[in-house]
Structure 1
Amino acid sequence: MDRDIREEIYETALAWVREAGVNIRNKINDPLVVDTKSNPNDLVTTMDKETESFFVSRIKEKYPTHSIVGEEGYGDKLTSMKGTVWIIDPIDGTMNFVHQKRNFAISIGIYHDGIGEIGIIYDVMADNMYHAKYKNGAYKNDVRLLALTKKSNIEEAIIGMNHFWLCENRLVDERIMQKFVKRIRGTRTYGSAALEFAFLAEGIIDGYLSMSLSPWDVAAGIVIVGEVGGGTTDINGLQLNMLEKNSILTCNMNIQDDILDYLKKAKK
């Protein structure tokens, strides 16, 4: 993507995200209609739909040749990442949004011919904007994020992961993952994949593991984490397919091999 075009899209996207964030904050205490999707814990609200519709209408008006992949289905059905593609999660962490009224984010990744050009994650209630452009660094608000601190071993690492890794499941041997948790310094779970990526980029955590994430959960975070020297793969260490669900590892590169070794042993 041409640098000037990327800059123009970047500034436009940031303005739209801020506008959407103001709308969410203004309506945070309004009555919500809450529905479920794939299971009783997979929530969607009127605000999710309203926010995605806002982005889609703006994109289609200003950038009619661009494609859109959105969680709530207002975008396009794509079979390739050719051209410019906006990958949108209007509210990442909907359960937090419903129950806590915080710890959720707007997440937008903008890709061109499969390359992540722009990543924006907006912690709406904290008013913290994490953002990055390809090969141009990552920022929290106006402060540039430093390269991830090198870790000499995983014993010092704090990893974002939820309890599903430690329970009986069809993906991994929970006994090996329990050994992994005992070896590292600690775990955290925030309930929003986008925020986990943002916190990794900020250096608050050192890695994040999650099962079966959709492209809109990770698209922005991949760009932001990449700009501070982190890496994102599936749990086999392979490149992600941005049009399918993936179980992912994103982390400080110094500890990537150690974590992948555990995952290799644990994989069923």
Structure 2
Amino acid sequence: MSIYEFAMSIARLAGEKIREQLSHELVIETKSNPNDLVTNMDKATEAFLVAEITKHYPDHQIIGEEGHGKTITSTDGYLWVIDPIDGTLNFVHQQQNFAISIGIFHNGEKYAGIVYDVIDDKMYHAQAGQGAYLNDRPLPMLKETQLATSIISMNPNWLTKDYTYEMYAPIIRTARSARSYGSAALDFAYVALGIIDSYITLRLHPWDFSGGMIIAEEVGAVVTNQLGDKLDPLHSNSILVANSSLHKEILEQYLEPHHTALESIHKGTFSNR
């Protein structure tokens, strides 16, 4: 079994464990703010994934949302970046629209991405250079779109803040429509699937974007931060993912005029962890 196949197998096993526990009472805690939640299932799922990876690949490095690998500063060898439950608010309130996300890198280069929609049993996955899949179905390359005919995914909270409203409101006004799904990993998967055309957000951690980034790029999406720079799996960042023509339009016409403000946001709010 390859590392890629192993990653999919443990994601499925972790998903089964989550589904089996859905009727049990959750232990819910807050982290950075009252809307930043963590549950006992987040912690248990990360512990399961880390234990399985460590058992089979003891020399691999692992970064997890719930605290594993905080001291990692190098991408040498194999690096796993995992989010045990991406979309914890959805998990707590809806018991759907959340995913297990796994991104794997080898010496800093993309190796494989997994986004597992636990409730719908949909496995989005890709091995670098070999295309992307939904379960066993290959995903086609993305079609090019323009903003006026595109559906954009964005957390509406960014439209309530003075320092981002001026940047993002014109994008939403020009787009055909906008959506908010509450799971970054699924947003990436939905861009790869072609059911949304772009995902735009600030403040994503590596575990939020690593798995989905690899999947989306396999079908022709362009994934950068909002300054147009390549994403780093060890650092938090802003996100702009879209088909190539739409990415160029949003970056050049809507984000570059705010380049100075975006640089300030990056310098002031983004760090390794």
- Alpha-carbon distance in structure 1 between the residues aligned to 2:232 and 2:143: 28
**Deviations 1:167-216, CA, capped at 9 Å, x for gaps:** 2244x3x1342222111111111000000000000000001001100000
Q: Secondary structure at the match of 2:103?
A: strand
Give matches, 1:48-197, under 5 Å: 48-75=42-69, 77-151=71-145, 153-170=146-163, 172=164, 174-197=165-188
Q: Secondary structure at the match of 1:226?
A: helix
TM-score by length of 2: 0.92
Q: How many residues align?
A: 259
**CA contact 2:188–2:213 (8 Å) conserved in 1:** yes
- Stretches of structure 2 lacking an aligned partner (at least 5 in a row): 262-273
**CA contact 1:119–1:223 (8 Å) conserved in 2:** yes
TM-fit CA distance, 1:116: 1.3
- Alpha-carbon distance in structure 2 between the residues aligned to 1:220 and 1:214: 12
**CA contact 1:107–1:120 (8 Å) conserved in 2:** yes
Q: Secondary structure at the match of 1:85?
A: strand
- Alpha-carbon distance in structure 1 between the residues aligned to 2:43 and 2:82: 12
Equivalence for 1:3? none
**CA contact 2:81–2:233 (8 Å) conserved in 1:** no
- Alpha-carbon distance in structure 2 between the residues aligned to 1:44 and 1:57: 19
1:226 is aligned to 2:217: yes
- Stretches of structure 1 lacking an aligned partner (at least 5 in a row): 1-6
Q: Secondary structure at the match of 2:2?
A: helix
Task: Give RMSD over aligned pairs.
Answer: 1.2
**Deviations 1:143-163, CA, capped at 9 Å, x for gaps:** 000000121x21111111011
The one-letter amino acid of 1:191's match is: G
Identity %: 48
**Deviations 1:205-256, CA, capped at 9 Å, x for gaps:** 0010011000000000111001101011000001112211101111111111
Q: 1:252 aligns with which of 224, 239, 243?
A: 243
- Alpha-carbon distance in structure 2 between the residues aligned to 1:24 and 1:136: 30
Q: 1:220 to 1:176 in 2, by over 3 A?
A: closer
**CA contact 1:230–1:252 (8 Å) conserved in 2:** yes
